A and B are shown apart, each in its own frame.
Chain A
């Protein structure tokens, strides 16, 4: 059963169109992440699903029921907010039971639900405290407890981790993912952080300028980005994109970076049949940084020796876990991820191995993925 389906949804403020015809179907039990830069409309979309904002056009169904005119409290949803929105004057216990109190649920039942959630989130010792006496991570847990206690059809998370420091964010990310695996809830999660999207989602909707650019599982998004925006937004460091030319010789199609230059780079393509019609034309080539490595790297699963190129090194950024190298491929800047113990000299040239099985080609006009 579709937990949520959104049809031709749009939202206009005066003459500003924030959402332009959104269609989404989310299955029960999925962890869907809406990701995009600020201003892309993801939070507006979430607020419309929650019923806190009204759509200009289109329909929203939750659990098979059209809810366009249903107030938030009757939509069978729960929401976790960026600022947690804990009621400052109430204790943790009252924060969690307030919703049940509003719906007139019997005291005994409230206590049972509270005890369950408190045990699940390990917040039993905090129940008598006020939000101001809690740490960031504890507030986050209480906010989730307030949502969980409702046992709703749909959980909505609005950038819940962005107020936490980096270390706690990683911990809570794992905790939310673990929670999803344990209770199998349907979650819609809004974030601007593509790492959160990649690590937690079962499916990701990448949004930009009020349009869903791509809606797919994380691997597909990463491996086959639908267009240049998705390619550049997902991944850190982002995918290298550069102008190139598609040619063909007896062995099949070849993509050429910096065609005509003395240091032009020629990469033979295999299995890129969809690109056939682009032979002889300009394309945009996408290479993930991890597909450029030190010269003696053997890529996992590779058949035959990798393509080796010699390229000038401009900058070296050791991160500890790996070394990020800024180099030039056929004159175009590109980032590479090489082994941490290898430190090429900036200004000199070095040899790099290229994994050409995972290249992406984009149409320079439409910016869409060709192959």
Chain B
């Protein structure tokens, strides 16, 4: 039987939770509402208000008509840039992280803990600290201001997380499986491909969601290493928010922000429950 009585403590809990939810959701609500108001309406009243006319046109303009960096193609090309960076970097960093996590957890070798420690140390280094080294690397291999350069950065930086996730998932797999497979005659990659990978979907889903969200939302590297047409959408949004006309275009800008956030929002909506399930998969045997 569920407890249906409303004790005072219960009311307090709901009150606090509601307040927190409101605080977190308020910016999203304001942006969504503004994306549906005309620029004039926002300029004449305030940033907070209910749309008087549903200005769906904002979205069309933001997507393909708005002028940015001397071209008037909206944020569509930048969305494409972000996809071309995020999708390969997510795939590469997840696969490499899975192989590396499998190696350090199930194939114990001399110094394995050191390698694991050094790779995950990357989690604790501030992003700003890594800017200069990456500048030198990208310059020397000629990948400054290219999408491939950002793919490389995000693949390598992402390894810290993906190795951590995968290693912690794989340590729960019994060593005896590996031993049995070695006696059966399977080697490192065959064991990974045939035995470990089929067991990995919970952690791979977690890693993909995590990597996709982080790489898509990443701003600093995008704005530092790319300019103009090569920028990912997060960097392009800044250009969009600069005052280009007499009238601030908050409506269109809000619509652009919503479009830019859409992929990660969708990933969260459809993959969120797998994310939570995957994170706790190793905890309960």
Pair B174/A52 contact, Cβ less than 8 Å: no
Q: Could you mark each residue 67-110 of chain A with 1 if its beta carbon is under 8 Å from any beta carbon of chain B, else 0?
A: 00001110001110111010111100000001100110000000
The answer to whether residues A87 and B177 also contact, given A98-B194, A102-B190 and a CB cut-off of 8 A, is: yes
A50, A71, A73, A146, most chain B CB atoms within 10 A: A73
Pair A50/B174 contact, Cβ less than 8 Å: no
| B window 188-214: CB within 8 A of A | 190, 194-195, 198-199
**Which residues on B sit within 8 Å (CB–CB) of A73?**
182-185
B181, B184, B186, B195, most chain A CB atoms within 10 A: B184
Chain A, interface size category, equals: 20 to 34
Pair A78/B199 contact, Cβ less than 8 Å: no
**Which residues on B sit within 8 Å (CB–CB) of A85?**
174, 176-177, 179-180
The answer to whether residues A81 and B179 also contact, given A89-B199, A98-B184 and a CB cut-off of 8 A, is: yes
Interface size on B, residues (CB 8 A): 16
**Which residues on B sit within 8 Å (CB–CB) of A47?**
179
In the bound assembly, the distance between CA atoms of A40 and B185 in angstroms comes to 29
Pair B182/A103 contact, Cβ less than 8 Å: no
Closest Cβ of chain A to B147, distance in Å, is: 36
Pair A102/B185 contact, Cβ less than 8 Å: yes
Pair A52/B185 contact, Cβ less than 8 Å: no
**Which residues on A sit within 8 Å (CB–CB) of B176?**
81-83, 85
**Which residues on B sit within 8 Å (CB–CB) of A146?**
180, 184
**Which residues on A sit within 8 Å (CB–CB) of B181?**
87, 98
Q: Could you mark each residue 43-59 of chain A with 1 if its beta carbon is under 8 Å from any beta carbon of chain B, else 0?
A: 00001001110000000
The answer to whether residues A88 and B185 also contact, given A52-B179, A79-B179, A81-B180 and a CB cut-off of 8 A, is: no
**Which residues on A sit within 8 Å (CB–CB) of B180?**
79, 81, 85, 87, 146
Pair B198/A79 contact, Cβ less than 8 Å: no
**Which residues on A sit within 8 Å (CB–CB) of B183?**
50-52, 72-73, 77-79, 99
**Which residues on A sit within 8 Å (CB–CB) of B179?**
47, 50, 52, 72, 79, 81, 85
Pair A99/B185 contact, Cβ less than 8 Å: yes
How many A-B pairs with Cβ below 8 Å? Answer: 58
In the bound assembly, the distance between CA atoms of A315 and B174 in angstroms comes to 45
Pair B184/A99 contact, Cβ less than 8 Å: yes
Q: Could you mark each residue 98-141 of chain B with 1 if its beta carbon is under 8 Å from any beta carbon of chain A, else 0?
A: 00000000000000000000000000000000000000000000
Closest Cβ of chain A to B141, distance in Å, is: 39
Closest Cβ of chain B to A115, distance in Å, is: 19
Pair B182/A72 contact, Cβ less than 8 Å: yes
**Which residues on A sit within 8 Å (CB–CB) of B199?**
88-89
From B201, which residue of chain A is reached at the shortest CB distance?
A89
**Which residues on B sit within 8 Å (CB–CB) of A81?**
176, 179-180
In the bound assembly, the distance between CA atoms of A103 and B186 in angstroms comes to 8
From B177, which residue of chain A is reached at the shortest CB distance?
A85
In the bound assembly, the distance between CA atoms of A127 and B177 in angstroms comes to 19
| A window 100-152: CB within 8 A of B | 102-103, 146
Pair A83/B174 contact, Cβ less than 8 Å: yes
Partner of A98, one of B174, B186, B198: B186
From A156, which residue of chain B is reached at the shortest CB distance?
B183
**Which residues on A sit within 8 Å (CB–CB) of B174?**
83, 85
In the bound assembly, the distance between CA atoms of A145 and B254 in angstroms comes to 64
Pair A89/B195 contact, Cβ less than 8 Å: yes
In the bound assembly, the distance between CA atoms of A50 and B183 in angstroms comes to 8
In the bound assembly, the distance between CA atoms of A103 and B177 in angstroms comes to 18
**Which residues on B sit within 8 Å (CB–CB) of A52?**
179, 182-183
**Which residues on A sit within 8 Å (CB–CB) of B186?**
98, 102
Pair B185/A103 contact, Cβ less than 8 Å: yes
In the bound assembly, the distance between CA atoms of A99 and B179 in angstroms comes to 12
From A158, which residue of chain B is reached at the shortest CB distance?
B176
In the bound assembly, the distance between CA atoms of A51 and B199 in angstroms comes to 26
Pair A87/B195 contact, Cβ less than 8 Å: yes
In the bound assembly, the distance between CA atoms of A51 and B179 in angstroms comes to 10
**Which residues on A sit within 8 Å (CB–CB) of B195?**
87, 89-90
B180, B182, B194, most chain A CB atoms within 10 A: B180
In the bound assembly, the distance between CA atoms of A47 and B183 in angstroms comes to 11
In the bound assembly, the distance between CA atoms of A146 and B177 in angstroms comes to 13
Closest Cβ of chain B to A290, distance in Å, is: 39
Q: Could you mark each residue 26-51 of chain A with 1 if its beta carbon is under 8 Å from any beta carbon of chain B, else 0?
A: 00000000000000000000010011
The answer to whether residues A102 and B184 also contact, given A81-B176, A81-B179, A85-B179 and a CB cut-off of 8 A, is: yes
Partner of B194, one of A72, A77, A82, A87: A87
In the bound assembly, the distance between CA atoms of A71 and B186 in angstroms comes to 11
In the bound assembly, the distance between CA atoms of A73 and B182 in angstroms comes to 6
In the bound assembly, the distance between CA atoms of A146 and B184 in angstroms comes to 9
In the bound assembly, the distance between CA atoms of A50 and B184 in angstroms comes to 11
In the bound assembly, the distance between CA atoms of A78 and B176 in angstroms comes to 13
In the bound assembly, the distance between CA atoms of A82 and B190 in angstroms comes to 23
From B186, which residue of chain A is reached at the shortest CB distance?
A102
In the bound assembly, the distance between CA atoms of A81 and B177 in angstroms comes to 9
In the bound assembly, the distance between CA atoms of A146 and B182 in angstroms comes to 13
In the bound assembly, the distance between CA atoms of A103 and B187 in angstroms comes to 11
In the bound assembly, the distance between CA atoms of A287 and B240 in angstroms comes to 95
Known: A82-B176, A88-B198, A89-B198. 13 other contacts (CB 8 A): A51-B183, A72-B183, A73-B182, A79-B180, A79-B183, A85-B174, A87-B177, A89-B195, A98-B184, A99-B183, A99-B184, A102-B184, A102-B185
* Smallest CB-CB A-B distances: 6 pairs: A89-B198, A99-B184, A73-B185, A102-B185, A85-B180, A85-B176
Show the binding face of A for B, using Cβ within 8 Å.
47, 50-52, 71-73, 77-79, 81-83, 85, 87-90, 98-99, 102-103, 146
Would you give 27 A-B contacts (Cβ < 8 Å), ordered by A?
A47-B179, A52-B182, A52-B183, A71-B182, A72-B183, A73-B184, A73-B185, A79-B183, A81-B176, A81-B179, A81-B180, A83-B174, A85-B174, A85-B176, A85-B177, A85-B179, A85-B180, A87-B180, A87-B181, A88-B177, A88-B199, A98-B181, A99-B183, A99-B184, A102-B185, A102-B186, A102-B190
